[in-house]
């Protein structure tokens, strides 16, 4: 009964337009007060939620992405990728997908990818004759790669919530991220033939191409440094995040593109973004405590296992649930609330927690493209000036490869587990 009251209060606040963190924290605190629980629980849960070593990686990866943006390394990534595949039909669209994959090895977040690459992609593709609807659609769809490829902030938060190895969870996202990249590129290739999408008409002299290729090598090495550090075992997520920050600072100083003003702006943006994420983390912990006290995870587990004990069937049921949840609830809040509820039953049925993490994050990233919340749609609209409705229409064709990737990752656990099992077993 208490948990139902907490959910009802949360929904009322959400419908009133309150921020997700406020909805979670205020509804949980109100129920704790009305149910006469000790008020100290609120402070204890808020502090304990953010007192986590794996979560230290979150602000560091955000800072790394902001530094790379500030010193122009993201432009170098886009220009180098354009040299490789820009001349084929719909080449700039393929460049957008590959650039999102490479930049995801720095940012770890879908919204960071849109903010970092969105302006560049929109400007160049519009100049080549692409419609704003298509351009915004492929940019938003490609941004789903970031939260799966290391360093994935949602996967780090899942690992901290599930209390499992963050390194293994991060590595589990590599193959699914590459799968999404491949399927999106195939989709663009099919659309290029059907709609006669333009080729890249920008011709680069050989000397300029060589200069671009050489100057972009340090930026292109950043994802290799990051993944290599995780694979080697020398660094955990927090350490490799710090190394990535140091690498970005070093490149900025060597290229003389990093100024004190740019560094201050990067730090200010990092504080703002980190505070938003950790505010959700802290308040979701209070809300999850209410559900735990009411034994919601136990009841939900019994309900799921009563429907089926087949792990694939249970994962498909969870996918349907998450697709709906992702339409209304911010992804980090959904991970923090639903992981303790869903994981016990699924692990009992034989689902590997690492596999579950990848499925959950991929599912919730698709939720970022769906209204009414659809944060990626609103971010793309803010960056490009294209109305949200037009961004959504441009995104619709790309739901096919994304949902196909979700299905394959769900029914083929090896796509997620092969790399961490190979490296750590």
The b/e string for 377-402 (b: 16+ C-beta within 10 A; e otherwise) is bbbbbebbebeeebbbebbebbbebb
Instruction: Compute CA distances 201 → 82, 125, 128, whole Å.
Output: 11, 11, 7
Is-contact 22 286, C-beta < 8 A?
no
pLDDT in tens, 364-389: 888 878 876 667 777 677 666 778 78
d(CA 288, CA 337): 5
Share of the chain above pLDDT 70, in %: 89
Which pLDDT value is given to residue 176? Answer: 93
CA distance 58 to 332: 12
Question: What's the pLDDT score for residue 87?
Answer: 65
pLDDT tens digits, one per residue of 193-238: 887 777 766 676 767 677 777 777 777 777 777 777 777 767 777 7
3-state secondary structure 245-266: HHHHHHHHHHCCCCCHHHHHHH
Task: State the pLDDT at residue 212.
Answer: 72
Q: Are 154 and 147 in contact (CB under 8 A)?
A: yes
**CA pair distance 376, 111, nearest whole angstrom:** 6
| pLDDT tens series, the chain, 425 aa | 676 777 787 778 777 777 777 888 888 888 888 878 888 888 888 888 777 777 777 788 778 877 877 777 767 777 777 776 656 667 777 877 877 777 665 555 555 556 556 666 777 777 777 888 888 888 888 888 878 888 778 888 888 888 888 888 888 988 999 999 999 989 988 888 887 777 766 676 767 677 777 777 777 777 777 777 777 767 777 787 888 888 888 888 887 777 888 888 888 888 887 887 788 888 888 888 887 777 777 777 777 778 778 888 888 888 888 888 877 777 777 888 888 888 888 888 888 999 999 999 999 888 878 876 667 777 677 666 778 788 888 888 999 999 999 999 999 999 999 988 887 76
Q: What is the pLDDT of residue 201?
A: 66
CA atoms of 321 and 365, how far apart (whole Å): 14
What is the model's pLDDT at position 167? 85
Largest CA distance in the chain: 74
Nearest residue to 82 via CA among 178, 215, 200: 200
Q: Characterize 157-170 residue by residue with b for buried, 16 or more Cβ atoms within 10 angstroms of its Cβ, and e for exposed.
A: bbbbbbebbbbbbb
Residues 92 and 124: beta-carbon distance below 8 Å = yes
pLDDT at 104: 65
Please tell me the distance from the alpha carbon of residue 287 to that of residue 253, in angstroms, as a whole number. Answer: 44
The pLDDT value recorded for residue 357 is 92
Phi, psi (rounded to 5 degrees) for 89: -65, 135
pTM (two decimals):
0.82
- Domain layout of the chain by residue ranges: 2-424
Residue 409's contacts (CB-CB under 8 Å, 6 or more residues apart) are: 176, 179, 358, 359, 362, 415, 416
Q: Using CA atoms, how far apart are residues 251 and 287, in angstroms rounded to an integer? A: 42
Look at residue 50 and give its three-state secondary structure. helix
Give the pLDDT score at 117.
61
């Amino acid at each position: 009964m208490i948990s139902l009251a907490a959910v009802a209060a949360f929904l009322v606040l959400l419908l009133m337009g309150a921020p997700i963190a406020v909805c979670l924290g205020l509804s949980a605190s109100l129920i704790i007060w009305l149910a006469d629980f000790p008020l100290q629980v609120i402070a204890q849960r808020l502090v304990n939620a953010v007192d986590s070593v794996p979560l230290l990686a979150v602000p560091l990866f955000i800072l790394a992405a902001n530094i790379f943006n500030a010193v122009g390394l993201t432009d170098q990534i886009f220009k180098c990728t354009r040299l490789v595949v820009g001349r084929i039909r719909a080449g700039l669209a393929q460049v957008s997908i590959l650039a999102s994959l490479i930049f995801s090895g720095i940012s770890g977040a879908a919204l960071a990818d849109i903010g970092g690459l969105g302006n560049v992609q929109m400007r160049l593709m519009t100049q080549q004759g692409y419609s704003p609807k298509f351009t915004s659609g492929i940019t938003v769809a490609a941004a789903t790669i970031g939260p799966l490829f290391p360093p994935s902030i949602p996967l780090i938060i899942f690992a901290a919530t599930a209390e499992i190895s963050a390194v293994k969870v991060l590595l589990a996202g590599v193959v699914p991220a590459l799968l999404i990249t491949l399927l999106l590129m195939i989709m663009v290739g099919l659309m290029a033939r059907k709609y006669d999408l333009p080729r890249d008409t920008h011709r680069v002299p050989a000397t300029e191409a060589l200069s671009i290729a050489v100057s972009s090598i340090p930026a292109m090495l950043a994802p290799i440094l990051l993944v290599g550090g995780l694979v080697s075992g020398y660094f955990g997520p927090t350490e490799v995040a710090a190394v990535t920050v140091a690498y970005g600072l070093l490149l900025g100083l060597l290229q003389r593109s990093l100024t004190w003003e740019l560094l201050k702006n990067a730090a200010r943006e990092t504080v703002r973004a980190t505070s938003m994420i950790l505010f959700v983390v802290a308040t979701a912990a209070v809300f999850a405590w209410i559900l735990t006290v009411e034994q919601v995870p136990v009841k939900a587990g019994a309900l799921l296992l009563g429907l089926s004990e087949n792990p694939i069937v249970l994962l498909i049921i969870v996918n349907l649930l998450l697709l709906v949840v992702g339409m209304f609830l911010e992804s980090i809040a959904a991970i923090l609330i639903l992981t303790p509820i869903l994981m016990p039953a699924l692990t009992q049925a034989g689902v590997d927690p690492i596999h579950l993490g990848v499925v959950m994050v991929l599912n919730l990233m698709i939720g970022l493209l769906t209204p009414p919340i659809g944060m990626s749609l609103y971010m793309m609209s803010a960056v490009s000036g294209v109305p949200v409705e037009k961004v959504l229409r441009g995104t619709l064709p790309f739901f096919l490869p994304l949902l196909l990737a979700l299905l394959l990752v769900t029914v083929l656990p090896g796509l997620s587990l092969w790399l961490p099992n190979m490296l750590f077993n």
